[in-house]
Each structure stands twice: as C-alpha cells, then as structure tokens.
Amino acid sequence: MTEFFHMGGYAFFVWTSYGLATIILIANVILPIQRKKEILNTLKRRLRREQS
Amino acid sequence: MWLFFHKLGSPKYFYDLSGKFLPWFGGLTLILMLLGSYWGLVVAPADYQQGDSYRIIYIHVPAAWMSLFVYIVMASAGAIGLIWKMKMADVVASCSAPLGAAFTFLALVTGSLWGKPMWGTYWVWDARLTSELILLFLYLGFMGLEAAIDDKRTAANACAVLALVGVVNIPIIHYSVEWWNTLHQGSTVARVDKPAMDVNMLIPLLIMWFAFMFYYGTTLFMRARNEVLYRERDTAWVKEMVTE
Amino acid sequence: MSEASLYQAFSTVLKRDLTLAYRTRTEMVNPMLFFIIVISLFPLAVSPDPKVLQSLAPGVIWVAALLATLLSLDSMFRSDFDDGALEQMLLSVHPVSVLVLGKVLAHWLVTGIPLLLLAPLLAVLLHMPSDSIPALMTTLALGGPILSLVGAIGVALTVGLRRGGVLLSLLILPLYIPVLIFAANAVSNAAAGLAIAGQLYFLGALLALALTLAPIATAAALRISLR
C-alpha cells in the first residue's frame, strides 16, 4: 500500500496532478449547482414581490 | 432530424430533455472516472523508462484533447448562433468557454508537473506547452469579451466572431510554434521515444477520455440549464417551475 | 446623382482617414515615440553590451513594433464611432469590408510606414549588423499590414466598450504570435547570414490570408458592435 502511494518516487508529481484535477473537476460541478440555487432564490423572491 | 434540431432550439424543450439526461451523464462520468483512475493508477504497469510518473498521462492527455475539442464546439456553436440566430447555440458557446479554460489550465499544470521529473524543469518552451498556453489566452480573451459586453446577444455574436477568428488562427499558431520550437530547442529536450503502448496502459487512457467527454457534457448541461433558467425568467414555464 | 464606384468609395475613405490623421498629427506621433522609448529602455535595463543587444535586437524591435501598433489601433474606429460616422459607413451601399480595407490601409500608412522608417535607426542603436537591416525592413513591410488587419478585427469587437483598451490587447496579442515568430526569426537568421526566403514566403502567405479574411470579419464585428 505504501508503495502505491509512493509512486516509484514520483508521488509529489502524480498526486499533485490527480489532486488538482479532482479539485478543478469537482469545483466545476459545485459552481453550477450553487448558481442554480442562487437563480431559483432570486426568481422566487421576485415572484413573491410581484404577487404581493 | 431537422425537427429535432428546431425543437432543441426551444429553451423549454432543452431544459426538460437535458434534465432527463443529466443524471445518466453524471453517473456515467463518475463511474468512468473512478474506473479509469483505478485502472490507470493501480492496474496499469509502470513505464519501463518513466516509471510511475507517466501516470499523469491519464489526466494530462484527456485534458489536452478536451481543451481543443471544447474550442471547436464553442466556435461551431458560435457560428450556428451567428448564422441561424439560435439562442441555444449562444448558450452552449458561452457555457463552454469556462470549461474549456479549465481543461486547458489542467493540461498546462499537469504538463509542467510531468515535465519536472522528465525534463528536469517545470516549464520548457516546448511546442505543445506553448500552444496550449496560447489557447488558454484565447479562452480568457473570449471570456473577457463576453463579460465586457452588457447585452447578451451582442456579446454572444461578438464572441462567435472572435472564436471563428481563433479557429482560423489555431492551426497557424500551432504550426508556427512547432516550427519555432524545432529551431530553438531540439537538443535540449530529451524526447522520450514512445514504443507501442501496452494495452493495459492504453485502455485507461481511452476510459479517461470518455470520462472527460461525459464530464464536459454533464457540466455543460448544468451550466446551460442555469443560463436558460435565467434568460427565460419572465416566461410562464419558468415561473410555474419556481412556484412548485 | 450618380453612384460612386467601389474604387471611389475605397479611395474616399482612405483620403478622409489620411486627412483626419494629418489634422491630428501630434497624436499620431505618439506611437512612434513609444516605439523609440521602449527600445531605448532595453539597453538600460538589460545591458549596454553590444553582443547582448545584438542577440536581443530582432525580438525587441518586433515586440516594440507590435505594442506600438496595438496602442495606435484604438484610434482606428474610435472617433468615427463617437461622431456617428461609423454608422453611416454601415448604411452605405458599398460592402463594408471594402470601406474597412480603406481604413486599415490608412492606418498602416500612418503608423506602419513610420515604424518601418524608424526601424533602421533603432537597429543601429541596438548594434544590429547592417546586413540584417534590409531583412528587418522587409519583415516590417510584410508583417505591419497583418498587424493592422488583424488588429482591426479586435478594435471592431471592442469599439462600443468604455474600457476596451486592455481587453483589446488580450484579444489581439495571441493572434499576433505567428507574425512575431516568423518575422523575428527571419531577422535573426539574416543577422547570422542564413537564408530567410522561407520565413518571408510564410509572412506573405499570412498577409494574403489576412487581406482576404480580416476585412470580412471586421465588417461582421462592426455590425455586431453597433447594433
């Protein structure tokens, strides 16, 4: 197992690459989800204002 | 086919259809990503020359492929939006730009992380790295122009023109950089001759490539749906959906 | 009233822009001054050693020419946009691309040619061998119009924006890279006594491509910006 994480001495480069990829890929999923919530909240508020 | 194309142009139809596809795309992306990473990191043997460092390839190469692919999608969508005035095409183009930029950035950083153990430095003015850097500039220019213009339709059309100019220029830039590189470098970069790849190395690469494709599809849908929701905020169907 | 021919329209735009440039000549001199000042900074910043300067010279002169062109580009459509002349141009019966070509030619005559004429002087300041000076002028003659043509697309895209200046450089500089590579390389090769025909042919091909496509793209961009 430790050998796996050691990556033949290239651990830093391999794991940094994969780590960064994970961060960027996940960030690009989270951002649209948050944006959607934001849009829906704004629209809801606007609709309520119009109705009242 | 033509009818489908027209229907896809209608925001509501797109919103409903993409909503149905989204979980499948997302699930497939996740499965392929995990499978590809496992295969690439664990199952695939170490390279006889580069050792384990070559495993960066499973991120780097798909990201680099996607960076070009997304640009082509973006420019084609831009052209469709410009010629047929299709709103959805504009949305696809504008939502692709940040994703393409992200892929390009990822390809650049992983490339330099791979370069450090192989070439001994984080950055060489290698032809591919350099053209990738220029591609990133093109994406950032596209996003900058889009952000600078207030009117959405004007922004989309202006960006489409820019993307098309970029498409004409990308091959020129690529070949001139390559030519420049062979003149300047050549001997300083020890090029690793690649023997035919082991099947166990090739399969995860293909899996990761598919994973990145589906990832692009998933995130593009997510962004495009948001954009549709926002642009159509005054229509009945969006209001109905919000009140639910 | 008879219809003006295509050539007449072209030459009218050209003459008009040249006259306007002549009236604001103090402004037109600024890019040239910028060109000279930037180049004279390099010996101060890097080293006054002739050998170092000699090896840097082709790149430095070309980068400076690129930046000077970039600075001057903004004026290409700005004043016409402000006084509404640009809208009139789009309403004309003639193809906008031809009128654009007239404006680009005027821009090149007003900024490209002076840069071309200043280059030998600066080449001497940077200790470039005298054999490479004709090469430098040839590359500027071939590359300069490309810079104006491609730049016009960028200006047309950003003309309606309040702060288009920085954005313009972000849009245009990546597109200038092939010109920069081939031109600077031709000049260094000439200094080393190598053949430069290949690079010049390539620049010529780029010029032909830019000449055919850039006015069309510029016209399309102008229509979008002015909508």
Residue spans per domain, chain B: 21-44+55-243
Task: Please give the ipTM for the structure prediction.
Answer: 0.87
Mean pLDDT, rounded, of chain B: 85
| Integer Cα distance of C199 and C197 in angstroms | 6
B173 contacts on C by Cβ (under 8 Å): 174-175, 177-178
- Which is higher by pLDDT, C27 or B5? C27
Chain-chain contact of B161 with C220 (C-beta, under 8 angstroms): yes
pLDDT band at C91 (very low <50, low <70, confident <90, very high): confident
| CB within 8 Å of chain B, chain A residues 1-52 | 4, 7-10, 13-14, 16-18, 20-21, 24-25, 28-29, 32-33, 35-36, 39-40, 43-44, 46-47
For residue C148, the model assigns a pLDDT of 94
Taking the CA atoms of C63, C64, C67 and C69 in sequence, report the sign of the dihedral they define: negative
Q: Going by beta carbons, is chain C in contact with chain B, meaning 3 or more pairs sit under 8 Å apart?
A: yes
Give me the residue from C171, C209, C213 closest to B145, CB to CB: C171
B186 pLDDT exceeds 50? no
- Which is higher by pLDDT, C166 or C2? C166
Mean pLDDT, rounded, of chain C: 89
Integer angstrom CA distances of residue B208 from B26, B223, C129? 14, 22, 53
Tens digits of per-residue pLDDT, C115-157? 999 999 999 889 888 888 999 999 999 999 999 999 999 999 9
Residue of B59, B192, B46, B179 whose CA lies nearest to B119: B192
CB proximity C149 to B under 8 Å: no
- Which is higher by pLDDT, C62 or B120? C62
Is the pTM for the entire model greater than 0.80? yes
Give me the residue from B161, B168, B173 closest to C157, CB to CB: B161
% of chain C exceeding 70 in pLDDT: 99
In this complex, the chains that touch A, judged by 3 or more CB pairs closer than 8 A, are B
Q: Burial-class residue B167 by CB neighbours within 10 Å (0-12, 13-18, 19+).
A: middle
For residue B163, the model assigns a pLDDT of 93
B51 φ/ψ angles, rounded to the nearest 5 degrees: 65, -140
Instruction: Please give the interface size between A and B, counted as residue pairs whose CB atoms are below 8 Å apart.
Output: 86
pLDDT band at B44 (very low <50, low <70, confident <90, very high): confident
Taking the CA atoms of B192, B195, B196 and B201 in sequence, report the sign of the dihedral they define: negative
Give me the residue from B33, B51, B218 closest to A8, CB to CB: B51
Q: Print the SS3 string covering chain A.
A: CHHHHHHHHCHHHHHHHHHHHHHHHHHHHHHHHHHHHHHHHHHHHHHHHHHC
For residue B42, the model assigns a pLDDT of 84
DSSP 3-state of C47: coil
Give me the residue from C161, C174, C206 closest to B149, CB to CB: C161
For residue B190, the model assigns a pLDDT of 45
| Integer Cα distance of C158 and C77 in angstroms | 10
Q: Burial-class residue C121 by CB neighbours within 10 Å (0-12, 13-18, 19+).
A: exposed
The token pair that represents B150 in the structure block: 């207030």
The token pair that represents C183 in the structure block: 């031109």
B193 pLDDT exceeds 70? no
| Integer Cα distance of C8 and C98 in angstroms | 11
B64 pLDDT exceeds 60? yes
* Distance of residue B216 Cα from the nearest chain C Cα, in angstroms: 25
B87 pLDDT exceeds 70? yes
C9 φ/ψ angles, rounded to the nearest 5 degrees: -60, -45
Which residues face B47 on adjacent strands?
B51
Chain-chain contact of B177 with C177 (C-beta, under 8 angstroms): yes
% of chain B exceeding 90 in pLDDT: 41
